[in-house]
Amino acid sequence: MALVSCAVRGNTSACLPGRKAALPIFEGDLPKLAANISTLFTELPFLDRIAAAKAAGFKAVECQGPYHTPASDFARTLKQEAMPVVLMNAPAGGEGDRGLAALPGREKDFRDSMARALAYAHEIGAPRMHVLAGAIAPGAASEAAYIENIRWAAERAREVGVIVQLEPLNAQDNPGYFLRTTAQAVALLGRIARDNVKMQFDFYHCQITEGDLARHAEALLPHYSHIQIAGVPGRNEPDRGEINYPFLFDLLDRIGYDGWVGCEYRPAAGTLAGLGWAARWGIGGRAP
């Protein structure tokens, strides 16, 4: 019997072959806020953060590297809490690595890590995976390795209904990182030419590197399938600093973005203490 996965398209669910049925997806006006449980609720054990996110009003979770937790335990907790996971990261590599996809000569390491990551994503029902590029100067060899590796990953990801996400990271926090700008990401998407490879649009990184977020959000809409947010500077709560998120959320509604907005920030003084910024969207409450 073929496995089935339900992915979000607009306000409907479409089932993709090859992956387990996903948990119910929230439908409603933007923003659809997902708690990144690698950065939020860190005062709690990892799996307990799922219930904490639900109690606070979030309708989904995302995470960075969950591999310290057995996938079966993660999947069971998601099911118990009726919370979907909407994004996870592929492994970053070994000590000191920031990903492997753009590193010539590390192709076997990359493929081994992706096989592990996709098996994990299949088990927990994650529909998107951020694949880190690595810290290496842009050049012909690194670009060729990146394109080939992402194409390979995309074909394997298609078998389990996963979208591969490419995220430009700012050089201030990630010196030497290969993928640095949205323009570079769009150019690479064109060369990779796989319909299950999309850009991950992190407003925090884009503001530091490029600014002009409203124009970027509108112009890049065909290319991204997931958004992440944090305050600039500091990467704290989204109401701290120079970004006007209520304005940007209204813009996303107007231009028709219907995906998730991942809250990947570092609370300044505890997760619950800093959730006042999201009260207007029904987020708050108390952790169990």
Q: Are 245 and 208 in contact (CB under 8 A)?
A: no
* Residue 264: active-site member: yes
* Residue 167: active-site member: yes
Distance CA 20, CA 18 (A): 7
Helix axes 140-159, 107-124, angle to 10 degrees: 30
Q: Of 62, 143, 237, 264, which residue is the catalytic one? A: 264
Q: Of 167, 218, 237, 242, which residue is the catalytic one? A: 167
State the number of CA atoms in the 13 A half-sphere of 242 facing the CB: 12
Dig out the tokens for 286 from the structure.
Answer: 């108390």
Three-state secondary structure string covering the chain: CCCEEEEEECCEEEEEECCCCCCCCCCCCCCEEEEECCCCCCCCCCCHHHHHHHHCCCCEEECCCCCCCCHHHHHHHHHHHCCCEEEEECCCCCCCCCECCCCCCCHHHHHHHHHHHHHHHHHHCCCEEECCECECCCCHHHHHHHHHHHHHHHHHHHHCCCEEEECCCCCCCCCCECCCCHHHHHHHHHHHCCCCEEEEEEHHHHHHHCCCHHHHHHHCCCCEEEEEECCCCCCCCCCCCCCCHHHHHHHHHHHCCCCEEEECCCCCCCCHHHHHHHHHHCCCCCCC
| Active site positions, annotated | 167, 264
